[in-house]
Structure formats: C-alpha cells, structure tokens
C-alpha cells in the first residue's frame, strides 16, 4: 500500500491505534503505539521520535534522539490486540541528517538488495527460511550468585509417561516426533490457528507439522520472498507463533537448543538469484544447477565460519551445532545428504524456477536482516571470484572413516570461534557499503560481552561433574 492507501485502510477498518514496530540490533522486535488520529500521509516521511540510547547496541545517551519511519508496504491489522490496531514495520533514521541509521538491520538488508542489482549479477534474491520452534506448557529459569536453574515441561514429552492424572500414554519418545498424528501430536489445533492467522495477515503458508524432537517441536513453512520482504515476514511469523501459544496458555521459543538429548531448532534457508524474471541457479551441472549456483555455494563454504557469527549468534546455537549428531556442521554440499551444511533439493523439482540451494546451518535466533544479507554477500563473493565449492559429498557422513572425516571442514564449535572468524574475515561484507565496519565491530563487541556473561556463570552440570573434586 501507498501512504494514502494506508490512511484510507485505517479509516475503513475503524482503526483505533497505530503500532510502530522496529527491530533492534540483536534481532528482537520493539514497538511503540500512538492514537490513530496521528496516522497521516506525512508521518511516512516525518516519522516518530524515540530514545535510541535505550535500544541495545545503538546510540549513546548524548545522541539518543532518533526517528522511526513507517514503511507503508508493511501495514497489517494486528491479530492480537483487543482494540483495532494497525501495525507497521519501521526503518530508523537520524533526526538531524535525515539519513538512514547505519545500525538499523533493515537498512543493511535494503543496501544488500541494492548491491545485488548494482553488480549486474541479478536483480532479485529469494529466501525461504524454515524456522523451527518449541511450544512448551511451562518454562522456569533463574540465574543469580547463589544458584541457577531452568525447567521446561510439555504434556507430550516422554519424561511425563509416568505422570499421574491426565496422562493418557501418548507421549513422544526422543527423536520420534516427526509426523505423528493426534493424539500423539498434541499441537495440531495451535499450529493450524498459527497457519490461519499467518494467511489472514497476508503470509502465504505452504506446510505445517510436528518436528523430530519431543516436547512440542514444530515447523511451519511460508512461501519464499525477496530478502527484505521475507525478513519482515519472519518477524511476523515469530510474533504470531508466540502470541498464539500464549493464547492457549503455552509458551513458544525459537531458542536453538532448549532441550538436552534431542534435536534442536534450526532455520534452513532456501536461496536463489533471479534476473529479469528468470532463475539463474538452474543449469546442466551437478543436481541440475548452474555454474553460478555452484560458485555461490563456494562463497558460502569459504566464509561459513565468519557467517556463523551472524547466522548462529548465540552461545546456545553451539549446543545444536555439535559434530556426530544430526546438526549440519560439515562444510560440504550434496543433492540429498541432510548432514551436509548445504543441500540442493531435488525431490519433486521439475521446473527451473524451483532450482535453489538450502543452507542448513543457520538457526532462528539470528537477526534475519543481517543473516540473510550476510549469506547473500558470501554467495556473491563466490560468484564474482568463481570459487570452486569442491566435489559434492554424497556419502553418509556418519559412516566416514576418521581419516575421511578429517578432510571435511566444520562449522565453528563455539560463538567465540565464530566471532574470531568474523573479525578476520569480513571484507566481503563491506562491498557496496552493505555492512559497515561500525556495524561489524559493534556486533562483535556486543556478542563478546554476551559471551563473557555466560562464561562467568557456573552451570548446574558442572556441580554434577566437579563438586566432589
């Protein structure tokens, strides 16, 4: 919609409030709300003021005033407010210069799309993220100088098979949550309501199902879209999943590894580049791919350790990325091998339009604007420099000998390793001024502080291992 159409839409739907949403540096939606009478065509240029020093990773107190500028194309009726509310996603600007704010993740994504067009390689990049999540019945956690704890619970979890009162025997064993029907799958109604709410909000849904882990792991896939649009869409997706779960008296999380001994939550990202309405990843090479697609893969593999600091940006991310389990830590590509970090989907693909790659190591704790932009920049570096991805790895990685496995590079084993890699390898991100040195250094500084806060605290299992030393 254009600004005039948004104003007319609000009047037609008797909107009472305008909710202004924007994403902070780490990747969480923030918002402020104004009465509907303040919604005018002018506000899409003039914006609304806020305190940038109170947002993580942004302004110092002596330069705190900032503006959020609503994007009229993102306007939607909020499905969860009691009073009719129009939600609009905003970009961030400097109130003095009027220029976009360099640390605004949406601005990074906007520059990434512009850089793709500038290279002449393509004019559109599509992303299709598959963000997994857990829906728990209860979560408890605390951390203090005298102790720390967390506890999660789910009626369908296998640890509740002995629970008296209400247990009817249909619990899910570890790693057996993929595709069971009700009553074993207890979340059918919630997922369907999430899917319906997404569709009513203008997000096209493709499929929804229970995922591998016990205790309420799920996945709902939405149709691919261009980079900026799909990042906006992912934020709506998280918002709708969390608020629908709350409506049912449950709690949802996109934390990569909340559950010990079972699968974590990843976010496989399908990607393809197009130009003038034609797909550029289809060809007559391996698995029906073009040289451009294989070079794109080469760039991703080359820069994957640095990418991890943006695609897997939490200490918890590396509880999932552990060698020897199902997580895609092996930096290789394959047409069918799901243990490889990059997969080329082939099942059911008959059209060149569907030719794409699937990057399997990211997780949904990332800031999507930064993560998608970074992956694109790595892929473009591969295309520009014709980086050979090597031979595909079509063998079962788990059956490889130690000598064979030693030749396969791996994802970083920790957030610290990933941040070190980003510090050494980020020149490819600076092209076209997509990322700036300030954005990268601020990200590394913020995440290292987060890392240190975790490092300082004992965890319960250390007492189990070491208390009697």
Q: Is 398 helix (H, G, I), strand (E, B) or coil?
A: helix
Query: pLDDT confidence of 158, banded at 50, 70, 90?
Result: confident
Q: Per the structure block, which two tokens stand in for 117? A: 């067009």
Catalytic residues: 51, 130, 132, 211, 219, 268, 338, 358, 360
Q: Is 151 helix (H, G, I), strand (E, B) or coil?
A: strand
Q: Which residues contact 298 (CB under 8 A, 6 or more apart)?
A: 382, 386, 387, 388, 389, 390
**In this predicted structure, which of 177-181, 195-199, 452-456 has the lowest mean pLDDT?**
177-181
Residue with tokens 């302004």: 59
| pLDDT given for residue 219 in this prediction | 97
Put simply, whether the predicted model's pTM sits higher than 0.85 gets the answer yes
* Spatial separation of the C-alpha atoms in residues 135 and 248, rounded to whole Å: 10
| pLDDT given for residue 124 in this prediction | 98
Burial class (CB in 10 A: 0-12, 13-18, 19+), 240: buried
Residues 166-179: pLDDT tens digits?
566 788 998 889 99
Judge whether residue 136 has pLDDT over 90.
Answer: yes
Residue % of the chain over a pLDDT of 70? 97
Chain centroid to CA 175 = 23
Contact yes or no for 297/272 (Cβ under 8 A): no
Residues 92-116: pLDDT tens digits?
999 888 899 999 999 999 999 999 9
| pLDDT given for residue 210 in this prediction | 95
* Spatial separation of the C-alpha atoms in residues 330 and 319, rounded to whole Å: 15
Contact yes or no for 307/385 (Cβ under 8 A): no
Q: Per the structure block, which two tokens stand in for 58? A: 């942004």
| pLDDT given for residue 350 in this prediction | 79
| pLDDT given for residue 349 in this prediction | 80
Task: Give whole-number Cα distances, 105 to 49, 111, 246, 373, 465, in Å.
Answer: 18, 10, 27, 9, 42
Is beta strand 330-334 parallel, antiparallel or unpaired with respect to 138-144? unpaired
| pLDDT given for residue 324 in this prediction | 66
* Residue 251 DSSP one-character state: E
Residues 344-370: pLDDT tens digits?
988 768 789 999 999 999 999 999 999
| pLDDT given for residue 168 in this prediction | 67
| pLDDT given for residue 395 in this prediction | 77
Q: Per the structure block, which two tokens stand in for 26? A: 């780490």
Q: Which residues contact 268 (CB under 8 A, 6 or more apart)?
A: 129, 130, 343, 358, 359, 360, 362
Domain annotation for the chain: domains and CATH numbers: 3-101 (3.10.20.70), 117-466 (3.30.590.10)
**Nearest to 253, CA basis, from 358, 231, 264, 308:** 264
Task: Read off φ and ψ for residue 205, nearest 5 degrees.
Answer: -100, 140
Q: Per the structure block, which two tokens stand in for 43? A: 């506000």
Residues 288-315: pLDDT tens digits?
999 999 999 999 999 999 999 999 999 9
| pLDDT given for residue 167 in this prediction | 62
Residues 417-454: pLDDT tens digits?
999 999 999 999 999 999 999 999 999 999 999 999 99
Residues 200-250: pLDDT tens digits?
999 999 999 999 999 999 999 999 999 999 999 999 999 999 999 999 999
**Nearest to 426, CA basis, from 312, 326, 307, 300:** 307
| pLDDT given for residue 160 in this prediction | 86
| pLDDT given for residue 165 in this prediction | 58
C-alpha angle 239-366-54 in degrees, rounded to nearest 5:
75
Residue % of the chain over a pLDDT of 90? 80
Residues 317-333: pLDDT tens digits?
999 998 766 678 889 99
């Amino acid at each position: 919609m254009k600004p005039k159409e948004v104003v007319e839409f609000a009047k037609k739907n008797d909107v009472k409030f305008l909710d202004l949403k924007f994403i902070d540096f780490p990747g969480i939606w923030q918002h402020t709300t104004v009465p509907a009478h303040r919604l005018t065509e002018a506000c899409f240029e003039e914006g609304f003021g806020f305190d940038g020093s109170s947002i993580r990773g942004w302004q110092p107190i002596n330069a705190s005033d900032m503006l959020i500028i609503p994007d009229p194309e993102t306007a939607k009726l909020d499905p969860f407010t009691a009073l009719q509310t129009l939600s609009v996603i905003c970009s961030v600007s400097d109130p003095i210069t009027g220029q976009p704010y360099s640390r605004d993740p949406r601005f990074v994504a906007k520059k990434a799309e512009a850089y793709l067009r500038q290279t002449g390689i393509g004019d559109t990049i599509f992303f299709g993220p598959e963000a997994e999540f857990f829906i728990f019945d209860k979560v408890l956690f605390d951390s203090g100088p005298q102790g720390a704890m967390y506890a999660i619970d789910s009626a369908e979890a296998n640890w509740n098979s002995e629970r008296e009162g209400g247990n009817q025997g249909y619990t899910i064993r570890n790693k057996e949550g993929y595709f069971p029907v009700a009553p074993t799958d207890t979340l059918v109604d919630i997922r369907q309501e999430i899917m319906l709410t997404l569709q009513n909000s203008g997000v096209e849904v493709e499929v929804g199902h229970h995922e591998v882990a016990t205790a309420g792991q799920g996945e709902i896939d939405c149709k691919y879209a261009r980079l900026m649009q799909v990042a906006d869409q992912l934020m709506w997706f998280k918002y709708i999943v969390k608020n629908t779960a709350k409506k049912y008296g449950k709690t949802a999380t996109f934390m990569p590894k909340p559950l010990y001994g079972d699968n974590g939550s990843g976010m496989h990202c399908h990607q393809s580049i197009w130009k003038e309405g034609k797909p550029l990843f289809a060809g007559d090479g391996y698995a029906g791919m073009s040289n451009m697609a294989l070079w794109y893969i080469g760039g991703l593999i080359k820069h994957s350790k640095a990418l991890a600091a943006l695609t897997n940006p939490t200490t918890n991310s590396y509880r999932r990325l552990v060698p020897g389990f199902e997580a895609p830590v092996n930096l290789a590509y394959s047409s069918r091998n799901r243990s490889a970090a990059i997969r080329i989907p082939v099942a059911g693909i008959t059209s060149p339009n569907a030719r794409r790659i699937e990057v399997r190591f990211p997780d949904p704790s990332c800031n999507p604007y930064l993560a998608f932009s970074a992956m694109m920049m790595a892929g473009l570096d591969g295309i520009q420099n014709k980086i050979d991805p090597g031979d595909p790895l079509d063998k079962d990685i788990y059956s490889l000998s130690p000598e064979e496995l030693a030749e396969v590079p791996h994802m970083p084993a920790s957030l610290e390793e990933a941040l070190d890699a980003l510090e050494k390898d980020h020149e490819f991100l600076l092209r076209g001024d997509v990322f700036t040195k300030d954005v990268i250094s601020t990200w590394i500084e913020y995440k290292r502080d987060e890392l240190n806060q975790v490092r300082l605290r004992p965890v319960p299992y250390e007492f189990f291992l070491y208390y009697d030393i």
